[in-house]
């Protein structure tokens, strides 16, 4: 029988261990009868302790304070010369017995008042309402004040009641000291026990290295000590200040500088790196994140403390993953496009208003108070989505019109312009997927080139003040059909602009992070599916910008004068797509090539290793904004250009792809389709 019990206990022990590792709860029905009884008893006792917590704490204080007080009397009576009775020289038995008999009634009665003073004052000061597992300096200070008041109250009461027999001063002092120490140590022991229990129960937390040992790290560690995290186990810290290296911050050792991060990650088995310098300069952030990218750790970053205080939210809940924007290789550009004066009170039309850039344009335009916003898009789902979003945000305050129409339809464009008479036109409608346009070049020409031409002619005909074309860096020395069609669109703008009352400009920028069809959403989908991530070539590089940056550039360009200008953003250094893929895998908490693989598929048709933002033939000069450059309009033969457009349209609608590509090469001499 005993052997069977031992075997069963071993079996349940192994099952409990497996359940802990896999985080599966063992059901009560799985327990044997004697263990089930013990489980019920422990739960019942725990429930009683929780329900009558304050009563048990009061009872403990009564016993502890009474024991401390009576113990003080014992010690005092053993050194009876403190009482001034002159008992020195008497037999030991007399010394040990007579004082107890003489002072017994005083001991008992005064003990009652002593305990009562402590319990009443503690209750009044909220000592039984505090959660001591979260106790801070304020709680301990309040405890000291409560102890001092309790002793003071007892001294006053004893002086009033005990006029014939005085309580020795030693009893006052030692009794107060012992009682306060005993009750305080008990609370501290409980706090340490609870925190130790919590830490041991979270042994599966990720091992974290902190970068920075300043105010932000101190606040984080303080909060984690107060509210232990289920996710983070802070192992060590690094800081570039030589005075801090080798010291500790709230028990966490500062083990080196940022240059030693890879070594410390390996030595301490770090899983997560947390950047705790919210106000760090961008170049320092890039340097540190570059070092961290050499490890296989998950990277996270702490937000600005001032913003946290303003938001009124706790620190640990606002720790975020490092965003891809943090790894752009440059600081995020914030521009003041002065949209209020440009847009306020104007009728604004956005073609392709449901797309990534178009929808963000609509958001910022709506915020600037236009007289009317007209959204034109062929894809009704996107148009409906941005329409509902703007209605939720602005309701009847925004005069909003949404039209489902194709920019290819010149008659419909003419009709819309005749109805709404827009002052400002932002032309974002286009086919932009490079591989798809390679297989359907005629569709790229029909939509991009002649869609732009239709909208531009309508804008000029109906007196629009400004027309802004959304272009791309792929228009520079294009190697693909999409880039070539965008270059022709720029040529349309530059050809019409000199003789038109409408200000025609183009805005050229690189890849937009997170836009529909861009590499970032594709990589995220591939990571979610477990990989692999597909990169065309290990050396391919691209310029990147965020959607807010792109829209800021568009609005800034719209506010600048200069007919036919092509505005270009200073986008910093280009980013290797392979580095972007590896960093995204790390940000997702995986290890590249081990958890998620990366495969190289080769350059796609029309794709080149690097993009350019300007052409050698363009005379680029600075504008009032140091982040924006402008290329002077090219000298073009307007009469021949429109003749070429007519021929291009005929070929495109004949759907002869080979002939079309050959003619595009004639119109765009820099178009090298064989690259």
For residue 298, give the H/E element and its range.
strand 298-301
Beta bridge partners, 424, equal: 348, 466
Buried b (16+ CB within 10 A) or exposed e, 368-380: bebebbbbbbbee
What residue ranges in 342-458 does DSSP mark as E strands?
A: 347-351, 372-377, 400-404, 424-427
Q: CA–CA separation, 348 vs 289, rounded Å?
A: 41
Asked if 262 and 295 touch (Cβ cutoff 8 Å), the reply is yes
Query: What is the rounded CA–CA span in Å between residue 250 and residue 139?
Result: 19
Lookup: tokens for 658:
């080979």
SS3 600: strand
Round to whole Å and give the CA distance between 233 and 207.
5
Is 462 in contact with 437 (CB distance < 8 Å)?
no
Catalytic residue among 446, 474, 486, 627: 474
> Is residue 253 annotated as a catalytic residue, yes or no?
no
Contact 374, 347 (CB under 8 A): yes
Nearest-angstrom CA–CA distance, 316 and 102: 62
DSSP strand pairing (252-256 vs 320-321): unpaired
d(CA 350, CA 373): 8
Cα 344 to chain centroid, rounded: 34
Cis peptide before 532 (omega within 30 of 0): yes
Place of tokens 């290296």: 245
* Residue 324: alpha-carbon gap to chain centroid: 11
Do 428 and 359 touch, CB atoms closer than 8 A? no
Beta strands in 378-516 (DSSP E): 400-404, 424-427, 466-472, 503-509, 511-513
Cis peptide before 243 (omega within 30 of 0): no
Residues in the chain: 675
Pair 473, 509: CB distance under 8 Å: yes
The residues annotated as belonging to the active site are: 474
């Amino acid at each position: 029988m005993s052997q069977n019990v031992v075997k069963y206990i071993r079996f349940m022990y192994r099952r409990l261990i497996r359940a802990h590792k896999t985080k599966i709860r063992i059901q009560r029905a799985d327990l044997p009868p004697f263990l089930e009884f013990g489980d019920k008893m422990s739960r019942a006792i725990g429930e009683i302790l929780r329900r009558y917590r304050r009563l048990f704490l009061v009872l403990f204080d009564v016993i502890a304070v009474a024991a401390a007080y009576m113990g003080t009397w014992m010690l005092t009576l053993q050194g009876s010369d403190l009482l001034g009775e002159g008992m020195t020289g008497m037999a030991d038995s007399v010394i040990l017995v007579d004082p107890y008999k003489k002072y017994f009634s005083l001991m008992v009665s005064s003990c009652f008042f002593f305990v009562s003073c402590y319990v009443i004052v503690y209750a009044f000061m909220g000592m039984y309402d505090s959660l001591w597992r979260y106790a801070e300096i304020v709680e301990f200070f309040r405890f000291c004040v409560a102890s001092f008041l309790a002793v003071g109250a007892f001294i006053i009461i004893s002086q009033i009641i005990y006029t014939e027999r005085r309580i020795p001063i030693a009893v006052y002092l030692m009794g107060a000291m012992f009682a306060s120490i005993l009750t305080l140590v008990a609370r501290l022991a409980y706090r340490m026990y609870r925190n130790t229990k919590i830490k041991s129960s979270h042994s599966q937390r990720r091992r974290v290295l902190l970068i920075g040992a300043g105010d932000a790290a101190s606040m984080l560690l303080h909060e984690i000590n107060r509210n232990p995290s289920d996710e983070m186990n802070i192992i060590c810290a690094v800081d570039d200040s030589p005075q801090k290296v080798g010291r500790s911050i709230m028990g966490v050792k500062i083990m080196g500088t940022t240059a030693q991060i890879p070594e410390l990650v390996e030595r301490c088995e770090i899983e997560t790196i947390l950047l705790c310098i919210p106000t760090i300069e961008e170049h320092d952030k890039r340097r540190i994140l570059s070092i961290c990218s050499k490890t296989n750790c998950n990277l996270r970053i702490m937000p600005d403390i001032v913003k946290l205080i303003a938001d009124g939210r706790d620190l640990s809940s606002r720790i975020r993953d490092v965003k891809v924007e943090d790894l752009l290789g440059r600081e995020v550009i914030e521009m003041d496009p002065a949209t209020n004066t440009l847009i306020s009170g104007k009728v604004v039309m956005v073609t392709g208003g449901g797309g990534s850039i178009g929808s963000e344009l609509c958001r910022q335009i709506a915020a600037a108070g236009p007289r009317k916003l007209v959204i034109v898009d062929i894809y009704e789902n996107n148009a409906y989505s941005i329409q509902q979003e703007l209605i939720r945000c602005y309701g009847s305050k925004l005069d909003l019109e949404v039209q489902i129409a194709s920019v290819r339809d010149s008659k419909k464009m003419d009709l819309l312009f005749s109805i709404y008479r827009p002052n400002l036109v932002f032309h974002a409608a286009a086919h932009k997927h490079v591989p798809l346009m390679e297989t359907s070049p005629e569709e790229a020409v029909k939509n991009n080139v002649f869609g732009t031409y239709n909208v531009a002619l309508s804008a000029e005909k109906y007196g629009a003040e400004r027309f802004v074309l959304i272009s791309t860096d792929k228009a520079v020395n294009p190697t693909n059909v999409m880039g070539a069609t965008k270059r022709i669109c720029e040529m349309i703008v530059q050809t019409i602009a000199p003789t038109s009352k409408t200000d025609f400009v183009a805005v050229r920028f690189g890849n937009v992070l997170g836009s529909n069809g861009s590499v970032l959403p594709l990589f995220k989908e591939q990571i979610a599916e477990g990989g692999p991530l597909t990169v065309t070539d290990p050396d391919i590089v691209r310029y990147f910008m965020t959607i807010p940056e792109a829209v800021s550039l568009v609005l800034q360009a719209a506010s600048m004068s200069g007919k036919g200008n092509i505005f270009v953003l200073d986008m910093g250094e280009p980013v290797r797509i392979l580095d972007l893929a590896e960093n995204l895998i790390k940000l997702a908490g995986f290890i590249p090539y081990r958890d998620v693989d990366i495969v190289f598929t080769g350059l796609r048709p029309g794709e080149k290793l690097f993009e350019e933002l300007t052409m050698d033939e363009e005379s680029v000069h600075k504008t009032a904004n140091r982040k924006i450059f402008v290329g002077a309009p090219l000298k073009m033969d307007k009469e021949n250009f429109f003749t070429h457009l007519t021929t291009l349209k005929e070929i495109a609608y004949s759907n002869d792809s080979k002939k079309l590509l050959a003619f595009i090469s004639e119109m765009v001499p820099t178009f090298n389709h064989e690259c």
